[in-house]
Amino acid sequence: MQKLRLRYAKRGRLRFTSHRDVARTFERALRRAGVPMAYSQGFSPHPKISWIGAAPTGVASEAEYVEISVVEAVDPARLAAALDEALPPGIDVLESVVAGPGGLAERMEASRWRIELPGVPVDELRGAVAKLLAEEHVEVERLTKDGRRLIDARPAVIRADVLDSADPESGVGIDMPVDSPPYGILVAVVRQTTPAVRPDDVLSALRVVAALEPPVPAKATRMAQGRLDDDGVLSDPLALDRAATAG
C-alpha cells in the first residue's frame, strides 16, 4: 500500500462549499479518475482518506491538505493531473507527493491568512492592527451550535502585517478599477490552537480593540500552512516528503 499527500486549493464560489461536500466531491473524483484506493475493513468499507484540517466554509484556500492510501504504486504527478481533471473548477489539485516518514498533521502549527478588506482605509487598518498587537488578551464572541462562547483570539496571532491594495506587489492593484479607492489587506500568521482561531475571529478582535467595522464582507484566503520558525515564517509541510523521495 502506498500513501500520498496532496495539496489542493479551494477557489472562487467553491469557497462557500462545506468541508463535508468537498470530501464527497473528492471521493467521487477519485472514482472517476480510476485511482486504486485502499479501503477500510468492516461492514461499511470506505476509502482511506485523511483530511488535515479544513478551511472554514466561506473561506478560500491555496493550502489545503489530504492524505490518500492506494493499493498499488502510482505516479504522483499523473495522479494529480487525473484527479484535477475529475474535480470541478475551483477545487484544484496543486501537488501530489509520496508520503515520507512522520505525520503530516504534526507539521501544521499555523496558517498564513490574507484578508482583503474593501472599504477599510490602509491607515485605519494599520492603526487597528497596532492596537491588537499591543494587547495580551482579546476575548471575542463566537456563535456555535451550543450557543455563544467567548474565546481569547490574541495569543494565536503570531504576526500581522498590512498591505495596500494599490501597491502592485499586493496582487490586487493592477486589477483594481481606476475609480476604486485603495483599501487595506491584512496578512496574519495565526497559530492553530484549540479552539481554532479563524479569520472572522481576528476581525472580531479588531472590532473589540479598535471598533473596526468593514463596510462590506471581507475576503479571506489561507495562503499557507506549516511549522513556525522563530520569525513567524511557515515552512513547507511537504518539503520532508520531497526530500525523502529524492533521497
Q: In this predicted structure, what is the pLDDT of residue 178? A: 56
The boundaries of the domain holding residue 137 are 110-226
Backbone angles phi, psi at 243, to 5 degrees: -65, -40
DSSP 182: P
> Are both 216 and 127 inside the same structural domain?
yes
What tens digit of pLDDT does each residue of 193-209 get?
A: 888 999 999 999 999 99
Confirm whether 159 is domain-assigned.
yes
Cα distances (Å, whole numbers) of residue 133 to 100, 121, 222: 38, 19, 20
Which of 106, 123, 140 marks a domain boundary? Answer: 106
Q: In this predicted structure, what is the pLDDT of residue 42? A: 81
Find out whether 80 and 48 touch, Cβ atoms under 8 Å: no
Confirm whether 214 is domain-assigned.
yes
Angstrom distance (rounded) from CA 201 to CA 196 = 9
Find out whether 108 and 226 touch, Cβ atoms under 8 Å: yes
**56: CATH:** 3.30.70.580
Please state the rounded mean pLDDT for residues 128-156: 92
In sequence order, the β-bridge partners of residue 221 are: 60, 114
pLDDT above 70: residue 176: no
pLDDT above 90: residue 127: yes
> Are both 217 and 155 inside the same structural domain?
yes
Averaged pLDDT score across all residues of the chain: 92
Confirm whether 233 is domain-assigned.
no
> Are both 123 and 83 inside the same structural domain?
no
> Are both 92 and 160 inside the same structural domain?
no
Alpha helices in the chain (DSSP H): 19-32, 76-86, 122-134, 199-210, 239-246
Q: In this predicted structure, what is the pLDDT of residue 247? A: 66
End-to-end CA distance of the chain: 20
> Are both 148 and 200 inside the same structural domain?
yes
What confidence category does residue 245 fall into, taking pLDDT thresholds of 50, 70 and 90? confident
The Cβ of residue 89 has, within 10 Å, a number of other Cβ atoms equal to 10
| Count of structural domains, the chain | 2
Angstrom distance (rounded) from CA 121 to CA 220 = 17
Burial 160-176 (b: 16+ CB within 10 A, else e): bebbbbeeeebebeeee
**116: CATH:** 3.30.70
Cα distances (Å, whole numbers) of residue 109 to 128, 189, 232: 25, 10, 11
> Are both 119 and 150 inside the same structural domain?
yes
